[in-house]
A and B are shown apart, each in its own frame.
Chain A
Amino acid sequence: MFGMKMFRTYETAMEFVKNTYPYREKEVYEGIKDGKDSIYNCNIYKEWCYKKLLELDFHNTNNFEKTNIISAGYCFYDGPYWLKLGIKNIWFYELDEDIRKINFRLTDYIRDDIERKGKTLDCSIDYHWIEKKDIGLHINFNCERYYHMKHSVLKEHYPDDCLFVFCGSNLEYNGPNTPGNGHINTCETLDDFIETLPNMNIFFKDTMNEKHMVIGCLE
């Protein structure tokens, strides 16, 4: 049943992309085909994040009903994980308005289960406009595209029990249209990456390939 919904969502989303953002068609298709798009290339890392959150069982101890996701890339495959995590309201934040609007189409198959909203903004400069009230889970998949998160993610703004996931990388520029394009804040090591984050009580930290991930609460 869910598979059929996803199939229909794929068809209508691709039609929408083709008609509205034709210059994105190849990129979205590639993102769905093998999880690698030229902008974020992050499906395997998103899966790593979601699986780790489930494995750590935080969704049974914390309330993830309201969740922020920053720079999620194309989210066609994310819906089932969001449902498992108990997410009911999700806020997308993107610098790029096209991606945000395409994501609404790509996640249409979960519209009856999860309310989706979004804002086109820079999470580092416009951080005052990121939702804070009752947020249980805050994920930034691409910290390497922004100034240090410790300057914009402040403990006093978020609920005490909010769980944070920060992903960054040491993936550097390797020619035009490669995933390292626009990576202004790469970190060689996991410890270097943690230095850029707010003070945290860290529950999990690791590096997969060139991607770092830290999960914890703000201290």
Chain B
Amino acid sequence: MVNRVIYLRWGERYNEGHVARLEQQVKDNCSVPYEFSTINYCYAGPDFDLMKHKQDTHFRGNDVEEAVGEQNKTLREDLGGLSHFQKILMFKWDRELFDSNDKLLYIDLDSNIKGDLAYFFNLDLDKPRIAYDWDSFNNNTWQKLYTSRAQPLYNSSVMLWKPGQCHTVWTNVRWSFDAAFYQYGMLDNWLFHRFGPYAYNDKNKNYFLPFEENIVSDNGIISTMSGTTIEEKYKCLV
């Protein structure tokens, strides 16, 4: 069994320096043995090419990687493109690349690690886990915006799972590529609708367990830049 910290880097926004920055943070903040690696199939190969093609076909804005704000006088969430779809490919390839008992902790490159990552590797993994928007949960804003696909409780900046455990996420998007890429601007919104509390398929309802409140937060073990502009992210990455 290996504890693995997984990162992904695609496009032009992040460079090797950002990978080194995350790697150093992991090194400084993990008291249990681990391996730091990526999954190349998430940004190359026929599955990636097909998904990229769907993204290019259905995205209706001008910057697919920008996660917030408006483009063409339309909310980013309403422009389609399933931004950050690359993460789904981790769930397709993990079984082939890793041992079934490994624990995989995915962390966004623009995250800040402030506490011991051993916390995550010591969690039981009967179900996969994901960072949660606890503010939205506590003040019910997620329900009000549910139909507009704009306020997911899920935050895929930090996820923990075992190889094969999330394969259904891949199959779910695989048979509905066009609708998924057309309807959803962000991966997190899609993931929340397909695997959150209102998912149609009972097996998929609440598929991910949330990390406890304050674990992934501004003052938690990991703070993420989810929901911020790319400029805000760059400022914090210096």
Contact = CB atoms under 8 A, between A and B. Distances in A.
Partners in one complex: yes
Interface of A: 21, 23-24, 27, 39, 94-99, 119-122, 124-126, 129, 145-148, 151-152, 172-173, 177, 181-185
Interface of B: 70, 73-75, 77-80, 140, 143-150, 176, 178-180, 182-183, 193-194, 197-198, 200
A-B residue pairs, 5 tightest by C-beta = A182-B148, A121-B200, A23-B140, A147-B182, A147-B179
A24 B147 contact: no
Contacts of B145: 181
Contacts of A145: 147
A192 to B, nearest CB: 14
**Main SS at interface, chain A:** loop
A39 B143 CA distance: 11
Contacts, number: 77
A50 to B, nearest CB: 22
Contact of B146 (A96, A125, A146): A96
Contacts of B146: 95-96, 98
A129 B200 CA distance: 9
Contacts of A125: 176, 179-180, 183, 194
Contacts of A173: 70, 73-75, 78
A182 B143 contact: no
A97 B178 contact: no
Contacts of A126: 200
Contacts of A120: 198, 200
Given A98-B143, A173-B73, 8 more contacts: A21-B143, A126-B200, A129-B200, A145-B147, A147-B179, A151-B179, A172-B73, A184-B78
Given A146-B183, A147-B182, A23 B144 contact: yes
Nearest to B80: A184
Given A125-B179, A147-B178, A152-B179, A182 B150 contact: yes
